[in-house]
């Protein structure tokens, strides 16, 4: 990793099988809550509230600022300790501010630090956290 660390993004990140998901959304949109749901299904916390995204070796990597490593906010409970992984390779970004309207959506991408990253939108289904874990484990078929 490079030593010139970029400023952190207001986001949360989790990982499954070494694949990182960057969760973006407005304050109070449920980033930490979704991460907790995914962690209950086997995902590992990378970072909560602030995520460092670093370009290295042709990929983007996610990590936590040292001061926030290993903790996640649970509204109504406080800051919880969590085993944290990282840095992990960024596999996709999820935008919680955009609802998914398609049953079988087309692939979307977003540019981040000059790299194309798969972009997912929030699906309003109770199994969405489990679907995201499976997406990170095995990917998506056409």
Q: Residue 65 is part of a domain; what is its CATH number?
A: 3.40.50.300
Structure tokens given for 94: 């999820």
Give one word for 3, left, alpha or beta, with left for phi > 0 and alpha for psi -120 to 50. alpha
Answer yes or no: are the C-beta atoms of 119 and 24 closer than 8 Å. no
Between CA 6 and CA 12 the distance in angstroms is 16
Per-residue pLDDT at 128 exceeds 50: yes
b/e string for 19-35 if b means 16 or more Cβ within 10 A?
Answer: bbbbbbbeeeebbbbbb
pLDDT tens per residue across span 77-122:
999 999 888 799 999 999 999 988 888 889 999 999 999 999 999 9
pLDDT at 84: 84
Count the neighbouring beta carbons within 10 Å of the beta carbon of residue 127: 9
Per-residue pLDDT at 1 exceeds 80: no
The whole-number average pLDDT for the span 60-73 is: 94
pLDDT at 4: 63
User: What percent helix, strand, coil does the chain show, rounded to 5?
Assistant: 15, 45, 40
Q: Is 108 helix (H, G, I), strand (E, B) or coil?
A: coil
Local structure of residue 102 (DSSP, 8 states): -
Give the domain range for residue 102.
Answer: 9-138
Average pLDDT of the chain to the nearest whole number: 92
**Looking at the domain assignment, is residue 3 inside a domain?**
no
**Looking at the domain assignment, is residue 18 inside a domain?**
yes
- For residue 5, name the pLDDT band (cuts at 50, 70, 90): low
pLDDT at 25: 94
**Looking at the domain assignment, is residue 46 inside a domain?**
yes
Domain total in the chain:
1
pLDDT tens per residue across span 29-41:
999 999 999 999 9
**Looking at the domain assignment, is residue 111 inside a domain?**
yes
**Looking at the domain assignment, is residue 4 inside a domain?**
no
Per-residue pLDDT at 3 exceeds 60: no
């Amino acid at each position: 990793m490079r030593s010139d660390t970029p400023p952190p993004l207001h986001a949360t990140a989790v990982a499954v099988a070494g694949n990182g998901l960057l969760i973006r959304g407005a304050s109070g949109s449920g980033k930490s809550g979704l991460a907790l749901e995914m962690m209950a299904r086997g995902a590992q916390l990378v970072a909560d509230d602030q995520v460092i995204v670093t370009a290295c070796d042709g990929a983007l990597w996610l990590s936590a600022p040292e001061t926030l490593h290993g903790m996640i906010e649970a509204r109504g409970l406080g800051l919880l300790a969590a085993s944290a992984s990282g840095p992990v390779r960024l596999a996709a970004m999820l935008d919680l501010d955009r609802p998914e309207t398609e049953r079988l959506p087309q692939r979307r991408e977003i540019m981040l630090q000059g790299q194309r990253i798969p972009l997912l939108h929030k699906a309003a289904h109770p199994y969405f956290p489990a679907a995201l874990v499976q997406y990170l484990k095995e990917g998506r078929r056409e």
